[in-house]
Amino acid sequence: MIQLPNAVKAYFSASNEERLDSLMAAFDEDAYVFDDNREFRGIEAIRHWCESDILGARVRFEVTDATEQDGTYAVIASIDGDFDKTNLPSPFLLKHTFKLSAGKIQELHIALPSFGKR
């Protein structure tokens, strides 16, 4: 597995440790997040998303794979937490695709992994 940039590592560790300020510090002020067919633009919208969807659901990530191509980092993580797991596979895996700017997360796309391609 590749070495992940500090902002990507901070996203997962701060989420797991429920440290909102550290989580937000990983994002650029003008960042963009796409999660579950929803878009969040700017730090305040992302803060609300983090509070409700990550910290509010006590989401825990375990990174299982990571790749880098042309400065884009694709991370597969096993997800657990206090959310409805009805009809979800076990383990429940999501692909997080990060684009960085000046060492901070500029874009984050979260989707089901397609294991035939990255």
Give the helix/strand (H/E) hosting 31.
Answer: strand 27-35
pLDDT of 28 strictly over 90: yes
With pLDDT > 70 as the criterion, what percentage of the chain qualifies? 96
Res 117: pLDDT: 47
- Report pLDDT digits (tens) over 63-97: 999 999 999 999 999 999 999 999 999 999 999 99
Query: Distances in Å between the alpha carbon of 9 and those of 25, 39, 63, 88, 105?
Result: 12, 22, 10, 25, 11
Q: What is the mean pLDDT of the chain?
A: 95
CATH number of the domain located at residue range(s) 6-111 in this protein: 3.10.450.50
Every domain of the chain and the residues it spans: 6-111
CA angle 7/74/33 to nearest 5° reads: 65
Q: Has residue 1 got a pLDDT over 50?
A: yes
For residues 37-58, give the mean pLDDT. 97
